[in-house]
């Protein structure tokens, strides 16, 4: 089973990328996390525009995945613009879009105490409006600069257990796509 990881931070070595790496390590061996690396290349959404190649690549990655895990920081109490832009592209054509009925979970890490909880809530709202099958759970990783150990593992056993439980719920909701079953 393939879980597509979308990182809302474009910063190399970001805490949210580390959180996706921790998620990949926490998945059962028969599942695989594939992090989409082209979010920075997705151009601004324009209604009616021809789909740019970077957007087509994003849509293909979503379609090939059995589930999606989004890790996001919080910018000005909301979702980073580049991530929201990518979701706007992924929401078209509505209602038959790539995220329609796709199981999606949202997690977040930040250097503040609250672990991007507002961004996670906003993102779940956007994903529900798109038609995704959004897990009603979050994983706030606050003080992210102290949260990860060697190899990107979460140092707090409680957070690690919550991540494993969230991933188990996400995978349980997913139905293998033809490409991941092959």
- Please report how the helices 117-130 and 81-90 are oriented relative to each other, as an axis angle in degrees rounded to 10: 10
Which ranges of 29-80 would DSSP assign to H, the alpha helix? 53-64
Task: Quote the pLDDT of residue 182.
Answer: 52
The whole-number pLDDT of residue 86 equals 97
pTM of structure: 0.95
pLDDT for 105 equals 98
Res 150: pLDDT: 85
pLDDT per residue of the chain (182 residues) written in tens, 0 to 9: 999 999 999 998 899 999 999 999 999 999 999 999 999 999 999 999 999 999 999 999 999 999 999 999 999 999 999 999 999 999 999 889 999 999 999 999 999 999 999 999 999 999 999 999 999 999 999 999 999 998 889 999 999 999 999 999 999 999 766 555 55
Give all domains of the chain, ordered by start, each with its CATH number. Answer: 2-181 (3.40.50.360)
For residue 179, the model assigns a pLDDT of 57
Query: What tokens does 177 get?
Result: 């796509």
Count of CB atoms situated within 10 Å of the CB of 91: 20
Q: Round to whole Å and give the CA distance between 109 and 116.
A: 6
Give me the pLDDT at residue 4, please: 98
Residue 181's pLDDT is 55
pLDDT at 83 (0 to 100): 98
The pLDDT of residue 11: 94
The residue among 3, 4, 6, 36 whose CA lies nearest residue 120 is 6
């Amino acid at each position: 089973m393939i879980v597509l990881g979308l990182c809302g931070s474009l910063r190399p070595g970001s805490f949210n990328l580390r959180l996706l790496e921790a998620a990949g390590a926490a998945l059962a061996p028969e599942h695989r996390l594939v992090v989409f690396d082209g979010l920075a290349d997705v151009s601004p959404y324009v209604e009616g525009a021809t789909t740019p190649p970077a957007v087509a690549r994003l849509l293909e990655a979503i379609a090939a995945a059995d589930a999606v895990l989004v890790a996001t920081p919080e910018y000005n109490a909301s979702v980073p613009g580049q991530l929201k832009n990518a979701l706007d592209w992924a929401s078209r054509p509505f209602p038959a879009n790539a995220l329609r009925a796709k199981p999606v979970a949202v997690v977040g890490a930040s250097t503040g105490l609250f672990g991007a909880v507002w961004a996670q809530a906003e993102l779940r709202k956007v994903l529900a409006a798109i038609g995704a099958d959004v897990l009603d759970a979050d994983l706030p990783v606050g003080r992210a600069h102290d949260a990860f150990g060697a190899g990107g593992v979460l140092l707090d056993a409680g957070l690690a257990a919550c991540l494993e439980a969230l991933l188990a719920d996400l995978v349980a909701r997913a139905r293998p796509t033809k490409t991941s079953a092959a």
